[in-house]
A and B are shown apart, each in its own frame.
Chain A
Amino acid sequence: MLFRNKMELKPQVSDTPSQHQQQQKQEQREKHFHVLAVDDSETDRKILEKILSVSSCQVTCVDSGDKALEYLGLVDANHQDSASPSQSERSQEDGLKVNLIMTDYCMPGMTGYDLLKRVKGSSWKEVPVVIMSSENEPSRINKCLEGGAEDFLLKPVQLSDVKKLQPRLLKSFDQSCTNLPDIDPMTTDNSKSNNNATKRKALSPEPSERRPKMKELTVL
Chain B
Amino acid sequence: GYLDDQFVQLEELQDHANPNFVEEVVALFYKDSSRLLLNIDQALEKKPLEFTKLDGYMHQFKGSSSSIGAKKVKAECTLFRDYCRAGNAEGCMRTFQQLKKEYATLRKKLEAYFQ
Contact = CB atoms under 8 A, between A and B. Distances in A.
Contact-residue bracket for chain B: 20 to 34
Contact of A50 (B18, B32, B63, B68): B18
B62 to A, nearest CB: 7
Interface in A50-92: 50-51, 54
Contacts of A46: 24-25, 28
Contact of A43 (B15, B28, B59): B28
A42 B34 CA distance: 13
A41 B60 contact: yes
Majority secondary structure of chain A interface residues (helix, strand, loop or mixed): helix
A17 B59 CA distance: 53
Interface stretch (B4-12, B46-54, B87-95, B98-106): B4-12
A160 to B, nearest CB: 9
Contacts of A158: 6, 9
B36 to A, nearest CB: 10
Contacts of A156: 6, 9, 66-67, 69
A34 to B, nearest CB: 20
A44 interface: yes
A178 to B, nearest CB: 31
B108 interface: no
A92 B59 CA distance: 36
Interface string A155-173: 1101100000000000000
B24 A41 contact: no
B29 A134 contact: no
Given A50-B21, A156-B6, A43 B64 contact: yes
B35 to A, nearest CB: 10
A47 B68 CA distance: 9
A127 interface: no
Nearest to A157: B67
A155 B63 contact: yes
A51 B13 contact: yes
A54 B17 CA distance: 10
A119 B69 CA distance: 32
